[in-house]
């Protein structure tokens, strides 16, 4: 009998939680599964709950929420035999989309019941875990502002992007990719493990969480009207074939700049532990995940 722990982000809403718990118990019957359902109570609680689940021999921990709570829960599962599963209830759902996890709860539950697992790569930015992507450019600035705003969702994000664009000048970065050194000015400097930010925006369309590499996506400074084609080509999954992006692959990436002030991991702003310098590295096959059939 598989032991499965569901960790639900309470931002889903009380009524929605009750309906969700009913659906979970309908798809994962007591005859085949030992199911426990709990909730996030504070920042960092997901990591604590995941570590406890590992100690208790839980087979699968299911993160119910968005990329932020998924990242928090994954921190307690990296390097263990306990698998991470996802019911995507966030805004962008970048990792779930990269793993082809269904957006509809019943189909995601069918995947969990099937139990097909595979070890995926994870990334670290100054030792902060990221599953999808991390960055130090304009996206990191917006992530820092986004955590202070009350208006969530895609529209709130878009409003911050438009309002902040004219004030942002892309820094000049010193970059080291597996020993290859270069100097580049960038509007976006994103290191991707998965192939998208969420909302189907793909900066690294061919990135793969199972390939043992990180994809470096560098977008040079662009005028305001350049945002439209960047968004368009990202949605189409072809931006890597345009003049708007320079693409590199590597396992260890270091970026430095006196103007480097922000860092985002999986869309959440985190403090810089080493001002003006960030090291990105890959940890191959470090996290067991429940996946769809590719």
How confident is the model at residue 132, as a pLDDT?
93
How confident is the model at residue 293, as a pLDDT?
72
How confident is the model at residue 12, as a pLDDT?
46
How confident is the model at residue 279, as a pLDDT?
97
Give the domain ranges of the chain: 2-121, 128-283
How confident is the model at residue 198, as a pLDDT?
66
pTM reported for the whole predicted model: 0.89
State how far the alpha carbon of 107 is from the alpha carbons of 82, 84, 100, in Å: 21, 16, 11
How confident is the model at residue 18, as a pLDDT?
66
Q: Which helix (H) or strand (E) segment is 157 a member of? A: helix 153-165
> 128-283: what fold?
Tumour Suppressor Smad4 (2.60.200)
Supply the angle between the helices 105-114 and 14-27 in degrees, to the nearest 10. 40
Q: How far apart are CA 78 and CA 289, in angstroms?
A: 10
Stretches in the chain below the pLDDT threshold 70: 11-18, 147-157, 163, 198-199, 233, 294
State how far the alpha carbon of 215 is from the alpha carbons of 91, 121, 211, 279, 293, in Å: 23, 12, 10, 14, 23
Q: How many CB atoms lie within 10 A of CB 263?
A: 23
Q: How far apart are CA 115 and CA 1, in angstroms?
A: 12
How confident is the model at residue 39, as a pLDDT?
92
Beta strand ranges found along the chain (DSSP E): 2-8, 33-39, 60-65, 83-88, 117-125, 128-130, 133-135, 172-177, 180-185, 188-192, 214-219, 246-250, 252-256, 263-265, 268-270, 277-290
How confident is the model at residue 98, as a pLDDT?
87
Overall CATH class of domain 2-121:
alpha beta
Q: CB-based contacts of 285: which residues, under 8 Å, 6+ apart?
A: 119, 120, 121, 210, 212
What tens digit of pLDDT does each residue of 61-96 get? 999 988 889 999 999 999 999 999 999 988 778 899
């Amino acid at each position: 009998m598989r032991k499965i722990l569901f960790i639900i982000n309470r931002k889903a809403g009380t009524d929605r939680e009750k309906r969700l718990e009913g659906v979970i118990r309908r798809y994962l019957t007591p005859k085949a599964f030992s199911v426990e359902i709990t909730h996030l109570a504070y920042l960092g609680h997901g990591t604590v709950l995941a570590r406890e689940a590992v100690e208790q021999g839980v087979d699968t921990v299911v993160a119910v929420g968005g990329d932020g709570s998924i990242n928090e829960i994954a921190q307690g599962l990296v390097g263990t035999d306990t698998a991470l599963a996802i019911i995507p209830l966030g805004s962008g759902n970048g990792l779930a989309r990269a793993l082809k996890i269904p957006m509809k709860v019943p189909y995601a539950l069918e995947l969990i019941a099937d139990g097909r697992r595979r070890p995926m790569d994870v990334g670290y930015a100054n030792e902060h875990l990221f599953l999808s992507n991390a960055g130090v450019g304009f996206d990191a600035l917006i992530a820092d502002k986004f955590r202070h705003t009350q208006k969530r969702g895609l529209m709130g994000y878009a409003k911050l992007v438009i309002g902040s664009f004219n004030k942002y000048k892309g820094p000049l970065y010193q970059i080291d990719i597996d020993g290859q050194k270069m100097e580049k000015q960038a509007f976006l400097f994103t290191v991707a493990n998965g192939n998208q930010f969420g909302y189907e925006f793909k900066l690294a369309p061919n990135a793969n969480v199972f390939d043992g590499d990180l994809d470096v996506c560098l977008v040079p400074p662009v005028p305001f009207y350049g945002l439209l084609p960047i968004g368009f080509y990202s949605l189409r999954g072809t931006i890597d074939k345009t003049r708007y992006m320079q693409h590199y692959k590597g396992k260890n990436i270091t970026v430095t700049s006196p103007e480097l002030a922000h860092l985002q991991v999986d869309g959440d702003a985190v403090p810089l532990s080493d001002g003006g310098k960030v090291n990105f590295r890959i940890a191959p096959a470090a996290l067991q995940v429940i996946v769809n059939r590719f």
